Amino acid sequence: MQLTQSNVDRIITILISATEKILSVYSSKDFNVRIKEDKSPLTEADILSHNIVVEGLSKIFGKIPILSEESKEIPFAERKRWDYFWLVDPLDGTKEFIQKNNEFTINIALIKGNKPVSGFIMAPVSGEIYFGLKNKGAFLRSKDEKIIPISARSQITDKIFITRSRSHSGDKEEKVLKSLGDTEDLHVGSSLKFCYLAKGKADIYFRSGPTMEWDTAAGQALAEAAGAKMVDLEAKDFLYNKESLRNPGFLCSANSELIDKIINLLQD
């Protein structure tokens, strides 16, 4: 299934509608925060965005299943029969949302089998929308609706720019990254790390700790459409619709030598 330009435009409309609801909550003086069973926070904005995205995708692509962070758990026995499905994080970076640092996104990915083939990431505060379509390239739509092609940077000139989480890092990451030589960390929240990579602002995104499938699918599709590749820490394909929706660690870069170097360092 290839998304047509009309499909892309309608998905962008969904993202803009969800953004309006998210920002209405974000601009309020206070909002309720509930802690879910997995200890992650949940706000009214998460639910409002979920409802708009799920309803919108259902109207356009009726028969394609939707798996969202805020939907009820769907048994693997049912999921494993899916040929295509939408994987959604209606508000990625809820901690950033609560802290009001502007670094949160909406993620929508189309999965074929166990690989992402299209990804859309909206940054509500900037109004930017990043999207990548397999075999068609990656693009940035600015707030003024201009669309430009973007690409990941495969050649490293001197310093290695590393996009990293504000909230999550581990000893393994620190040890390996210090071994790379001249580096500069670019700390940013949510799936904006993939956006940095896809537009050539960063050279590598390394994550040793766990994430969930909805955290990474849209970003992976975007980065790969921009010329990068994403693998787990054993250099294997990074796959989706697993029995457990928890991800292993990963590396994402357009520079294969850098990926190989980090994997070798991890094995030492």
Q: Residues spanned by CATH 3.40.190.80 within the chain? A: 160-267
Write down the pTM of the prediction: 0.96
With a CB cutoff of 8 Å and minimum separation 6, the contacts of 206 are 162, 164, 173, 176, 177, 249, 250, 251, 252, 262
The CATH code that applies to domain 160-267 is: 3.40.190.80
Hey, what are 18's tokens? 């969800």
CA distance 169 to 186: 13
CATH node for 5-149: 3.30.540.10
**pLDDT of 186-224, one tens digit each?**
999 999 999 999 999 999 999 988 899 999 999 999 999
> Residue 47 has what pLDDT?
95
Residues 6+ apart with CB under 8 A from 172: 208, 249, 266
CB contact at 8 A, 104 and 25: no
Q: What pLDDT, on the 0 to 100 scale, is given for residue 168?
A: 61
Q: What is the pLDDT of residues 131-163, one digit of tens each?
A: 999 999 999 999 999 999 999 999 988 899 999
* Residue ranges, CATH 3.30.540.10, the chain: 5-149
